[in-house]
């Protein structure tokens, strides 16, 4: 492999790494949103159970 081919390969690898870093950042943000949504759903389930005077486990498939 000559120097020009090596430089091209390095450039492609750097571009791929940058793309993977962006994708990882997006996945992390998605995970944070899912965590918030899950917490909000859990809070709603608990409030509904309180209103119905029932344990959460009796009304919902509740997992922490």
Encode the chain (64 residues) as per-residue pLDDT tens digits.
Answer: 899 999 999 999 999 999 999 999 999 999 999 999 999 998 998 999 899 998 877 777 766 5
Residue that is written with structure tokens 């965590």 in the block: 35
Is the torsion defined by CA of 52, 54, 60, 64 positive or negative? positive
Radius of gyration of the chain (CA): 24
Q: Burial, 46: exposed, middle or buried (Cβ in 10 Å; 0-12, 13-18, 19+)?
A: middle
pLDDT at 54: 86
pLDDT value for 63: 65
Length of the chain as a residue count: 64
């Amino acid at each position: 492999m000559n120097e020009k081919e090596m430089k091209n390969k390095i450039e492609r690898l750097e571009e791929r790494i940058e793309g993977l870093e962006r994708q990882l950042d997006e996945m992390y943000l998605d995970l944070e949103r899912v965590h918030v949504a899950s917490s909000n759903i859990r809070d709603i389930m608990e409030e509904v159970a309180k209103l119905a005077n029932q344990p959460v486990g009796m009304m919902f498939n509740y997992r922490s």
